[in-house]
């Protein structure tokens, strides 16, 4: 139920902001928060389901599995990095991770999808053109992730920790 709620929050965050700024997607931050709070598997599941469900609003297509994988990897890596001690529940740590994750992993994965669907033949020139064109979009997405993590990571992580403690979740 908690994972479903986090998916719903992520989908609503994408849909609500879309009208104001199409590329400003706070959903990746929600996915990262879920990965940190509930673990790598929950982070991946939240990311994958958010990509799938949000496309019922924005349109399903051959890009949907790529989005599901890219957002799932963001949640998975957040969970793994937190568990290994690389990522802390501190605002600055989360913001740096979120920005780097979008610019180096999520964005390039989604740009690779565009490369395969937009080019009849993949060449160095076509790859450079796709990745260069995707940079501004990825930068806006990274800023959205950073801003969302800066504003909401503390309260959401606190609430998720309370839910975990109250219901005995994630105990070893």
What average pLDDT does this structure show over 17-23? Answer: 74
Residue 119 pLDDT > 90, yes or no? no
Degrees (nearest 5) of the Cα angle 88, 103, 49? 75
Residue with tokens 């709070």: 37
Look up residue 113 and give its two tokens.
Answer: 């999808």
pTM comes to 0.93
Q: For the segment 39-66, what is each residue's pLDDT rounded down to a tens digit?
A: 999 999 999 999 999 999 988 999 999 9
Residue with tokens 């999808």: 113
- Maximum Cα interatomic distance, the chain, rounded to a whole number of Å: 55
Q: Residues 1, 38: contact at Cβ < 8 Å?
A: no
What average pLDDT does this structure show over 114-132? Answer: 91
Q: Which of residues 169 and 128 earns the better pLDDT score?
A: 128
pLDDT computed for residue 168 by the predictor: 83
Inter-axis angle of helices 2-18 and 40-58, to 10 degrees? 40
């Amino acid at each position: 139920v908690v994972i479903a709620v986090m998916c719903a929050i992520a989908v609503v965050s994408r849909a609500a902001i879309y009208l104001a700024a199409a590329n400003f997607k706070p959903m990746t931050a929600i996915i990262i928060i879920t990965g940190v709070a509930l673990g790598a598997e929950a982070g991946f599941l939240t990311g994958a389901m958010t990509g799938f469900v949000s496309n019922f609003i924005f349109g399903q297509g051959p890009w949907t599995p790529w989005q599901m994988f890219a957002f799932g990897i963001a949640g998975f890596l957040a969970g793994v990095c937190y568990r290994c001690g690389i990522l802390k529940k501190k605002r600055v740590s989360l913001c740096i991770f979120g920005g780097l994750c979008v610019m180096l992993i999520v964005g390039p994965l989604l740009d690779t999808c565009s490369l395969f669907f937009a080019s009849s033949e993949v060449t160095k020139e076509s790859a450079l053109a796709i990745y260069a064109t995707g940079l501004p979009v990825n930068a806006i997405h990274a800023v959205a992730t950073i801003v969302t993590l800066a504003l909401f990571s503390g309260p959401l992580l606190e609430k998720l920790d309370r839910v975990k403690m109250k219901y005995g979740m994630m105990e070893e």
